[in-house]
Amino acid sequence: MSNSVFRFATVSGQSIHWFLKRNCSVTPSQLGWLYASLCVISLGVGTGFWLNGAPLVLPFAWIELIAVGVAFMLYARHATDGERIELQGGRLVVELENGGRFERTEFLPHQVRVEPQISDRSLIEVSGQGRSVKVGRYVRPELRAALAREIRMALRGG
């Protein structure tokens, strides 16, 4: 199967991979460096005011840094969320990562159903052998039907 057939997948030999992830502008390590530099600047300014006789600036700088740190932690927790779908060696493997929680489900390709749940804009439900997984969270709703068609085409072998 040619890679030009697929819009969302990568073809590598006999395997087909879909890697759908959250679109994050800052990685967790970049966020750590940003936070460290913000701490240095904010505490430096607060210490300068404290040394010049304004003692309340420093406690408010600490409160600000704690609040920003909590917000950054919540962001970083979900920055690596994603969905990986792989068709290889007679298996369809769906791996979901959300907030550090990892879920893996395997299907036999000839027993899998792929369909939007409610409408063409809903999440895609991959089901078979009594198991069900919803994918497509990181694809725009108007493109989910195209992703579902692409997965069905790969499962049919062409």
Is a pLDDT exceeding 60 seen at residue 104? yes
Q: What is the CA radius of gyration of the chain?
A: 23
The pair of structure tokens assigned to 134 is 């919803």
Q: How confident is the model at residue 120 (pLDDT cuts 50, 70, 90)?
A: low
pTM (two decimals): 0.74
Which DSSP category does 123 fall into? Answer: P
Is a pLDDT exceeding 90 seen at residue 52? yes
CA 77 to chain centre: 10
Q: Name the 3-class secondary structure at 51.
A: helix
Of the listed ranges 40-49, 50-59, 117-126, the least confidently predicted one is 117-126
Residue with token string 């950054």: 72
Percentage of the chain beyond pLDDT 70 is 94
Amino acid 84: pLDDT: 95
Q: Look over the chain and give the mean of its residue pLDDT values, rounded to a whole number.
A: 89
